A and B are shown apart, each in its own frame.
Chain A
Amino acid sequence: MSAILAGRRILVVEDEMLVAMSIEDTLIDAGGEVVGPAPTVGRALGLLQDEAKIDAVVLDMNLQGHSGLPVADACDERSIPFLILSGYGDTALSGTRHAAPILSKPFASAVLVKALTTLFDGSRS
C-alpha cells in the first residue's frame, strides 16, 4: 500500500487486543505512525496530554465497559480530528454533541485508511 498516511501520527484507542494489532498493522502499512494503542480511557487521555504531536485519533467508543466520550471531548479541546469505531453501529454518538465519522465493526482495513484520509482532507480545508 502506498504511504498515503506518511507523516501522520495516529493515536489508536482500542481495547480489543487483536483488533488494535490489526489497526496498527493497517496504519503502519499505509505509512502512518501509531501512538498507543491505548486500551483504556485513562491511557488515551494520558497520551493525548503527553504526546507532542497527534494528527488524528481512532477511537473505540466502548472501552472495557466505559464510554470513550471523554477521549472525544479531549480531542475536540485540542482540535484533533477523530473517527469512531463501534460495535453499536451508527448510534454510538447519539445523544452527544459530536459528529465524527463512525466505522461499524468489523470493517475492512481499506475502509479505515479511506476514512482517515477523508478526515485529514476535511481538517485541512
Chain B
Amino acid sequence: MRQGSSGVDSSWIKKADELAALFQFTDALYRADSIADIFDATFDAIERALRCSRASILLFDHEGVMRFVASRGLSEGYRRAVDGHSPWKPGDRDAAPIFISDIELADEPEALKDTIRREGIRALAFIPLTANGVVIGKFMTYREVVHVFTEEEAVLSLTIARQLGFSIERRRTEEAHQRAEEGLRRSNERLRIILDSASEYAIITLDGAGRIASWNSGAERLLGYRESEILGQPGGIFFSPQDRASDVPDQEMRTAREEGRATSERWHYRKDESRFWGSGVMLPVEGSGPDRYLKIFRDRTEERRAEKRQKLLIGELNHRVKNTLATVQSLAEQTLKSVETPEAFASAFNTRLLALAKAHDLLTREAWQAVYLNDIAHAVLAAWIEDGRVSLLGPAIRISPKQALALSMAFNELLTNAIKYGALSNSSGCVVLSWQCSDACSVRWEERGGPSASPPHRQGFGLRVLNRGLASELGRPVDLRFEPAGVTCTIRMDFVDGRRAGMDDRGE
C-alpha cells in the first residue's frame, strides 16, 4: 500500500491516489466473483481513498433490520451491540450521509456512546447505499480520533457507496437469475425423472418437420430403440408401411396443430419388427419457439384383445341363450304331442328340463369344453347309481358339449322308460350303462331283471329322441331293442379325443 506518501505537491499525489483507488475499486467490482469479493474491494477502496482502515457494510435483511454483512477492524462484541441500529428505514429515499466528527459531542444515548467509546472510536460516518434511489443499507467508517470530514471525503464516500450499491444490486439480480435457472434446471430434472418413471408410457417429442427430438425410457422400453439411435428419425418410423404410405404421420401432426389434439389407435412396430396396438395422443407444444409436438402413447394390445373377446363372448352368450330358448320351446312342443293330460305334461316336461339343466350345469362348470361321459351319466342317473340299481362301466373319456347334451337327453328318456315299464319298475331289476371307445364310441344301455319288454304301441317323444333325434345328432344309427330280457340301446358316436372335443375354439 502506497499510503500517505510524502512529496512536494502532496495534494496532487493524494488526488492521484484517490483516483487510482477508485479505478481499482471499479475494476475489482467488475471482476468480483462473489459478494465477499465486492465487500473486500470496498474496504480496500475505503482504506486507500479515505485513508480509513476501520469500516463496515450493513444491509437491510428480509425483515427490514440493518445487519452487518462485513467489517474490518471491529470487534465481535461491538458488532453485536450496535447491530440493527440505523438512521434510515427500508424504502427511504434521498438519504444523505451522516458524519459525526466527535461522538462525545453527538446527541446520542449514553449507553450507545459508551459502546462506541469502548471500541476506541471517536468519529463515524454513515454513508447510505441505495439501489434505484431507495436505501438498501449503509457503509460506515470509523476513526480513533476526532475527524473533521471534508467535502472531498463526502464526494468520495458517495462515489464508493454508489458503486457498492450498484454492485450489490447486480449481484442480487444475478443470484436471483441463477436461482431461477437452478430452479428451472431442477424442475426440468424432476420432469425428466417423472417422464422416465412413467415407463408404461412412451413420451416423445417431434420437431416441426416430424422428426423425433426426444425419447423417454418408456419409449425405449416399448419400441426397443435407444434414444441415441432414434433421435432425428421420422416420427412415423414405428408405424406400418401402409400408414406411412398414406401419410398418417403428417395427418396426425396436422390434426394436432389445427385441433389442438390428435388421437391415434393403430399398430406400432418395434425395432425387432414385432408389433403392439398403440393408443395415444399428440399435442402441439405451447411456446414461442418453432413448432414442436408432444406424443404420448402406450401398449393397449391386451386391453384391445380383451375388449374383442368380451364382445365375442357377449355375442356367443346371446346365441346360446336363444338356442337354449329354442330348445326349450321344442321340448315343450314335443312333450305336448306325446301326453294326454296337463299333469302328465308337467311331469314329463319337468324331468326333461331338469336333465337339460343338469347337463348345462356340468358344461358350464367345464366352461363348455369337453366333459367326461361318466359325469354326464352321473348328472342324470345319480340317485339310481347310489341305490346300486344303475352301474357305470367304462373308461374316462371326454365328449363334446353337443354329445353331452344329446346323451343326457337320451339317458333321461331311457331312465323314464325304465322307471315306468322296465328294469327300474320293480325292486330287483338293474341297468348297466357301459361304453367303450376306439375309433368311435359305443355306449350301451342294458336292462336286466325287469318285466319283459315289448315295443310301445305309439312312438312317443322318448322314442323319437332315441331313434331319430339322437341318430341324426350323433350321425350314427341308434340300435334300440325291446327284448324279453329287457331293453337294450346301443348309441354310437364319433370319438374325438379329449381336448379337441371342445366347443368351437374360434378364439378371437
Contact = CB atoms under 8 A, between A and B. Distances in A.
Nearest to B405: A17
Contacts of B270: none
Interface in B88-106: none
**Chain B interface residue number, banded:** 20 to 34
Contacts of A37: 472
Nearest to A24: B468
A99 to B, nearest CB: 21
B469 A17 contact: yes
B333 interface: yes
Most chain B CB inside 10 Å of its own CB: which residue of A17, A22, A65, A109: A17
A114 interface: no
A52 interface: no
Contacts of B329: 19, 22, 106
Contacts of B118: none
A21 B318 contact: no
A106 B322 contact: yes
Given A20-B472, A22-B330, A87-B319, 17 more contacts: A15-B402, A16-B330, A17-B405, A17-B469, A17-B470, A18-B327, A21-B464, A22-B334, A36-B472, A37-B472, A39-B472, A64-B504, A65-B504, A87-B318, A105-B323, A106-B325, A107-B326
B323 A17 contact: no
Contacts of B406: 17
A25 interface: yes
B354 interface: no
A38 B475 CA distance: 8
Contacts of B325: 105-106
B469 A21 contact: yes
Interface string A26-47: 0000000000111110010000
A88 B319 contact: yes
B2 interface: no
Contact of A39 (B333, B475, B505): B475
B475 A87 contact: no
B473 interface: yes
